[in-house]
Structure 1
Amino acid sequence: MSVLQRTALFFTIIGALNWGVIGLFQFDVVASLFGGQGSVVSRIIYTVVGIAGLVNLGILFKPSEEIVRTEHRVARTT
């Protein structure tokens, strides 16, 4: 898994946790921390999370053999 994919996964998890809090408690953590849903910083974070989700689509549809091969190659080089 590349650095880009790991970073995208990190942001996707952050987004998923935020959505979980919204669903359970009706509280938007990103909006509360950065000045509301309409603030520039919040909108940037929402956009980054959305792009990260699109990057993760590549992982979802990648054949599992390629993922395992890539992980073994990285493990041998480190």
Structure 2
Amino acid sequence: MKTLDYIALILVAVGAINWGLIGFFEFDLVRAIFGDMTWISRIIYAVIGIAGLYSLSFFGRLRNDE
């Protein structure tokens, strides 16, 4: 389970960096690498979104650790 947590955290960080690039420089890294909404870029966006949703479970686990 810890490995899945690290993978989700890395994907969320990648998503945050991409959104930072979009916000500051109007540069979408995923679009630049994989194209404008190609099937692979849509998969990448979806996987990062799922990782973000999964990361919400960290809040519940932090509360249980106290």
TM-score, structure 2 normalization: 0.90
Matched, 1:44 2:25: no
Task: Give the corresponding residue for 2:23.
Answer: 23
Structure 2 unaligned spans of 5+: none
Task: Give how far 1:64 is off.
Answer: 5.4
Supply the AA of the counterpart residue of 1:55. Y
Supply the AA of the counterpart residue of 1:61. G
* CA RMSD of superposed structures (Å): 1.5
Report % sequence identity: 46
Task: Give how far 1:20 is off.
Answer: 0.1
Query: How many residue pairs end up in the alignment?
Result: 65
Higher CA-based Rg? 1
Structure 2 counterparts to residues 1-78 of structure 1, below 5 A: 2-36=2-36, 38-62=37-61, 63=63, 65=65
Supply the AA of the counterpart residue of 1:40. W
CA distance in 1, matches of 2:12, 2:64: 20
Supply the AA of the counterpart residue of 2:42. R
Q: List, as ranges, runs of 4+ consecutive aligned residues in structure 1 with deviation greater than 2 Å.
A: none
